[in-house]
Structure 1
């Protein structure tokens, strides 16, 4: 009985340690407030406007590159409402078209929707960073799974945007995306 008790205590303490780590350290522990005074200001209406070129990689659950892509984006805005049309070309020759619909509030909060997003994404722009959380439904060819997504974009001093997204199922990271975005005329 004593050994079972110690085993259960070890399991509980291990789970608590993992929870504390995820809550306070690491990628998903970031908060928009962490970047309030880090400048320059990332304004989604300005930096995701017009033609944009994107290049990136997607890592699978074991940290290996599972896909590479290039994409052309076109952002357009009317006041605080905008759209971002995306056309991806993957290394296997397949293509994907997506369109985000975005609304920015006065306080920097963001509401976002797309055809493959379940419900509405929510986020915030603060300093040189933008965070967006949403649930995405993968295409049937990719299993049709619904994944919880944490999407961070960071504005670099030269205007390039670094994008890092993590995708989770049942709290377990199953994929990660790293990409750059920059105005098409800057390429």
Structure 2
């Protein structure tokens, strides 16, 4: 009798956990949720010229583990954009990433960079841009392929906010938060 009761409790617990997982997955925002938001984000317009960004990395507990600034030179030739990003970390380390973006039409963008595994994919709607990619991150003598769910929100013609969740094997590792300022 005790074993039957535990078995039912265990099954109900598993069923409840699976239900929560399905409901959470269904509740994730999409760019279309922001389609009516203003000002409208035009990636070609915003990422054209000189941009400064200020950011932090936080671990899964929310503790700031690294601060950085980024100087960006961005330009477009037709539907092909280039973002030259120069990172300066609070510990003095520097890093450079050059993105090549392609405007695929209908709000869809793809992108590549030397430390991006495969191709990044993104969609813009209203004031929002969601960008998904896998970044190869060096940590000590090892590199890790980390998934990024990257969201950008245009606040006005000069300021855009960016929040990216980092994960590996579906486990949240932390977040990157940035504030872009177009000069």
The alignment's TM-score, normalised by the length of structure 2, stands at 0.92
2: distance between equivalents of 1:6 and 1:44? 51
2: distance between equivalents of 1:142 and 1:153? 31
Q: More displaced, 75-84 or 157-166?
A: 157-166
Q: Which residue of 1 aligns with 2:14?
A: 11
Unpaired runs of 5+ in structure 2?
none
**Residues 1:173 and 2:172 aligned together:** yes
Q: Do the aligned residues in 1 keep the contact of 2:57 with 2:175 (CA within 8 Å)?
A: yes
2: distance between equivalents of 1:67 and 1:19? 34
Higher-strand-fraction structure:
2
Q: Which residue of 2 aligns with 1:41?
A: 40
Q: Which residue of 1 aligns with 2:90?
A: 91
Q: 1:174 to 1:67 in 2, by over 3 A?
A: same
CA radius of gyration, larger in: 2
Counting only pairs closer than 5 Å after superposition, residues 1-187 of structure 1 correspond to structure 2 as: 1-2=3-4, 3-24=6-27, 29-141=28-140, 143-184=142-183
Unpaired runs of 5+ in structure 1?
none
Which SS does the other structure have where 2:62 is aligned?
A: coil
Question: Aligned pair count?
Answer: 180
Q: 1:166 to 1:12 in 2, by over 3 A?
A: same
